[in-house]
């Protein structure tokens, strides 16, 4: 297994050195691909912040979870925490190799990968790792569409995540939920995304028409990888991000999306990115994000149930 940093396990998980024999495997990827003069180390503490946020809840796994309609883990469901990859702030190639290798090892073991980033460049190698798996649909829940060809001369940074995903033969549909405000995309990037066939549902559309606007774009019985950027949430609920923007999604909308995907498809992977621990003075934002991940864990154990 790839070199890992030993950390306390995520809620409901077992500390493990290998994903073999588990239904899902959590790992942290503190750093992705840096841009010149943009510090990606502000996200490095995110994986452990999520673990710490749910440490107390780990003592109550047999209690009723009203998000899920029962206890978090189903009978016999086994989740492991592989720890944090030994990524480096300024070594994008090294970080991408570690992330892709680890994700592939989890998939080869028959488990569902759950990755905690890191900035929004870490999903690029995460998605690349599915090349030997059945073709995937990506549901990106994000304030930004991330279709830049390059930014500051770097084509593998956090502004290019969905552009890079679109170039893979194993990615056959991209659904993007929650876009709002001003991001790195210009008119040309939006045209490129729509020309490729990306289905973009803005936050405003979701507020007016509900999450069904997004779920209608998720095919029945597909393998769906969910890429969740914490800035998809409204700034009032999630201030601990690099670029907080008003008008975002609520916790309930996001967990309804996760439940809706699980009801009609298979959650084949999940990554959560763009959390800034230093902006979370109350620690409530970390708990909110970690509860979203807990909903994913619970839904993986409830495949086919809404």
β-bridge pairing 266-273 and 112-117: parallel
Domain ranges of the chain: 4-300
Whole-angstrom distance, CA of residue 12 vs CA of residue 279: 26
% of the chain residues with pLDDT over 70 = 97
- pLDDT tens for 165-217 read 999 999 999 999 999 999 889 999 999 999 999 999 999 999 999 999 999 99
CA atoms within 13 A on the CB side of 175: 21
% of the chain residues with pLDDT over 90 = 86
- pLDDT tens for 3-49 read 556 567 887 788 888 999 999 999 999 999 999 989 889 999 999 99
Residues in the chain: 306
pLDDT beyond 50 at 306: no
Minimal CA–CA distance to 80: which of 14, 28, 18?
14
- pLDDT tens for 52-67 read 998 878 788 889 999 9
β-bridge pairing 199-202 and 223-229: unpaired
Region 147-158: mean pLDDT is: 97
Query: What number does CATH give the domain 4-300?
Result: 3.40.800.10
260 touches 271 (CB < 8 A): no
β-bridge pairing 14-15 and 79-85: parallel
pLDDT beyond 70 at 134: yes
For residue 301, count CB atoms less than 10 angstroms from its CB and return exposed for 0-12, middle for 13-18, buried for 19 or more: buried
Whole-angstrom distance, CA of residue 248 vs CA of residue 236: 9
């Amino acid at each position: 297994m790839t070199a890992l940093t030993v950390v306390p396990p995520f809620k409901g998980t077992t500390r493990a050195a290998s994903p073999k024999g588990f239904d899902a495997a959590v790992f942290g990827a503190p750093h992705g691909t840096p841009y010149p003069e943009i510090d990606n180390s502000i996200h490095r503490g995110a994986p452990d912040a999520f673990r710490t946020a749910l440490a107390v809840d780990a003592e109550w796994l047999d209690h009723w979870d009203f998000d899920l309609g029962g206890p978090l883990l189903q009978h016999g469901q086994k989740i492991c925490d592989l720890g944090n990859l030994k990524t480096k702030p300024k070594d994008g190639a090294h970080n991408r190799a570690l992330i892709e290798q680890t994700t592939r090892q989890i998939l080869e073991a028959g488990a569902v990968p759950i990755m905690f980033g890191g900035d929004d460049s870490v999903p690029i190698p995460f998605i690349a790792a599915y090349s030997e798996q059945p073709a995937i649909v990506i549901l990106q829940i994000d304030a930004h569409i991330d279709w830049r060809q390059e930014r500051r001369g770097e084509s593998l940074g956090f502004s290019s995540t969905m552009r890079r995903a679109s170039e893979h033969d194993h990615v056959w549909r991209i659904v993007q939920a929650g876009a709002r405000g001003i991001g790195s995309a210009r008119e040309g990037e939006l045209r490129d995304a729509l020309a490729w066939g990306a289905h973009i549902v803005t936050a405003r559309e979701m507020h007016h028409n509900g999450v069904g606007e997004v779920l209608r774009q998720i095919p029945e019985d597909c393998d769906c990888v969910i890429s969740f950027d914490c800035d998809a949430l409204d700034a009032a609920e999630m201030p601990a991000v690099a670029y907080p923007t008003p008008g975002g999604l609520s916790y309930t909308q996001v967990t309804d999306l996760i439940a809706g995907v699980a009801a009609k498809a298979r959650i084949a992977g999940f990554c959560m990115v763009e959390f800034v621990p230093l902006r979370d003075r109350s620690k409530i934002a970390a708990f909110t994000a970690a509860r979203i991940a807990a909903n994913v864990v619970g839904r993986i154990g409830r495949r086919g149930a809404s």
